[in-house]
């Protein structure tokens, strides 16, 4: 019966063991993932169907990206125009040549 007894897990010697205490946390960072648990999230696909799943970050809804290759040509070009709008045109600078300064003379301090 003693031969069938399971031995405890082997531990490394104390010299090579890394202890996780307050001193270690002050020197470096803790070696673990950002979120150790999984959160319930609603996944929305491009056709509108939804699936509940467990995700590593606390979010309410995840949306799948839309494949632009499956869209009609007109809708695809409209989406591209919204994502990459044209550059604003340069406006003409105002000059003081056409302004009659005598009309504003009453606002100047003497």
**What residue segments make up the domains of the chain, in order of their start?**
36-65
Extended strands (E) in the chain: 39-44, 50-55, 61-63
Identify the pLDDT of residue 38: 87
Cα angle, residue 67 at apex, residues 63 and 75 outer, rounded to 5°:
105
Q: Which residue, 76, 36, 81, is CA-closest to 56? A: 36
Give the H/E segment covering residue 20. Answer: none
Provide the pLDDT for residue 74: 93
Q: What is the pLDDT of residues 53-99, one digit of tens each?
A: 998 889 999 988 888 888 899 999 998 898 888 888 888 887 777 78
* 100 compared with 13, residue with greater pLDDT: 100
Confidence band, pLDDT 50/70/90 cuts, at residue 30: low
Q: What is the pLDDT of residue 10?
A: 54
- pLDDT, position 1: 47
DSSP letters along 57-81, please? Answer: S--SEEEPPP-GGGS-HHHHHHHHH
Q: pTM score, two decimals? A: 0.38
81-89: long-range contacts, CB 8 A cutoff, minimum separation 24: none
Instruction: Specify the pLDDT at position 52.
Output: 94
């Amino acid at each position: 019966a003693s031969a069938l007894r399971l031995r405890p897990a082997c531990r490394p010697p104390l010299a090579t063991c890394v202890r996780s205490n307050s001193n270690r946390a002050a020197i470096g960072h803790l070696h673990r993932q950002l979120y150790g648990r999984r959160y319930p999230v609603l996944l929305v696909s491009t056709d509108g169907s939804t699936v509940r799943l467990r995700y590593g970050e606390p979010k309410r809804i995840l949306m799948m990206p839309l494949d632009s290759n499956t869209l009609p040509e007109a809708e695809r070009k409209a989406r591209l125009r919204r994502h990459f709008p044209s550059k604003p045109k340069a406006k003409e600078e105002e000059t003081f040549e056409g302004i009659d300064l005598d009309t504003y003379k009453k606002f100047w301090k003497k």
